[in-house]
Amino acid sequence: MARATTEPKRARIPSCLNELSGPPHFCNQLLHLPSNSPARQLCSALSSAFSPLLLQSLRRSPAGNATQPATPTMEHGGRSDSAAARRMGRLASHLLPPTSQMEEVSILRGSNCRAKGAAPGLKVAVLGASGGIGQPLSLLMKMNPLVSVLHLYDVVNTPGVTADISHMNTGAVVRGFLGQPQLENALTGMDLVIIPAGIPRKPGMTRDDLFNINAGIVRTLCEGIAKCCPNAIVNVISNPVNSTVPIAAEVFKKAGTYNPKRLLGVTTLDVVRANTFVGEVLGLDPRDVNVPVVGGHAGVTILPLLSQVNPPCSFTPEEISYLTSRIQNGGTEVVEAKAGAGSATLSMAYAAAKFADACLRGLHGDAGIVECSYVDSQVTELPFFASKVLLGRSGIEEILPLGPLNEFERAGLEKAKKELSESIQKGVSFVNNVVFRKVLSANFTMHICREIAGSGGNRSCTPMFLL
């Protein structure tokens, strides 16, 4: 019998590298780089962990005599080379990182390659990722095991935020996008879009005071969503939510992409606060408390249904008055405590991540997921209203009824509906009334000038996407 020759097994160069930018071959691309380039130096340093064939290719002269290396298959212990391919893909993504303007290098598209190694899951975009809510929210979404790709978009500082968060050793691949020209790239293919973009509240400001600024921001972002990911679930955080959700709906209607099951205003912070404050009064762990909060997301439109608290309990009239007032004014409490240094950014990021996780679990196919949200609704005569919704693969599977209300809650509901009606109409008019929009645009420009002049050009007062 002929004696088999023993030859060192050589790993096949992962196929994902051939997909980076098409022909010419990946190795040939590297060979045409300067010998002192970071790509060649790093690849040489890593070569001992991979195929000797790659090392041989890199050591050839870059002067046109390189040939495309052969790609023998590898079988080692019955295992395929898919794991090695994924590892190589992830490492290759760092050979030529994007520039500070977040522009991809044409030779090696790191984000595309690195996505080969991403965990299976869903794609999420955070619009306004550099702001007070956006940064902690982005961090929390990077930690979510259901997220495979995380896109971070803002008009300032996205490269730094992206670099920082991308170093976390979790499964989600992070990509950054900077400025209006990259908005469409940030949105393409997304399953869930979260919008915390806008300016923050300051002492003495109501959520309606934010309208003149944030309405235009939300409109612009929703136009991008309608064009690039019309089937994505959209979570609107930008205040005033009572108006910005109707704005988003009108933009989608004009684009012919409106799906009321996939547009949700995030009111989870009201529920989070209600659970916390009720837990304090009852001496319970707030994680074991569930208080439905309906209506809207501003002042008297926030209506906690204390008669439906779980676990069942009773309150004195004084406790009901105290808890209702504190829940309705929780945002003001934080704004005043920060004394001009910001608004409720951290607790809002936590609540937004909690709600986003519920949406992702619904998309994933989990059953029985119920959250409160401000949505297109027929629970009342108003076109939008916050109440319990059942989430699933299509977004909102069912809008649940309010349930029985006591006398105090019925009175509160009437107050809430009056203010909600005005806020909803204000949002609808913003999109549909051209004259109204021009006036707001002028106010927006004047506000930017005052903000920048008053801060000496300080970045922290830039009004775009820094909620």
Residues whose CB is less than 8 angstroms from the CB of residue 297 and which lie 6 or more positions away in sequence, other chains included: 207, 239, 240, 241, 242, 265, 266, 267, 269, 270, 374, 386
* DSSP letter assigned to residue 53: H
- The CA–CA distances, whole Å, from 283 to 199, 275, 277, 286, 313 equal 36, 11, 10, 9, 12
In angstroms, the CA 151 to CA 148 distance is 10
For residue 90, the SS3 value is helix
β-strands 395-399, 192-195: how paired?
unpaired
Residue 104 φ/ψ, nearest 5 degrees = -80, 145
**Residue 258, amino acid:** Y
Q: Is 402 in contact with 294 (CB distance < 8 Å)?
A: yes
In angstroms, the CA 176 to CA 125 distance is 10
In angstroms, the CA 258 to CA 98 distance is 35
For residue 329, the SS3 value is coil
Q: Is 151 a catalytic residue?
A: no
Catalytic residue among 25, 151, 167, 297: 297
For residue 84 the two structure tokens come to 């090695």
Catalytic residues: 297
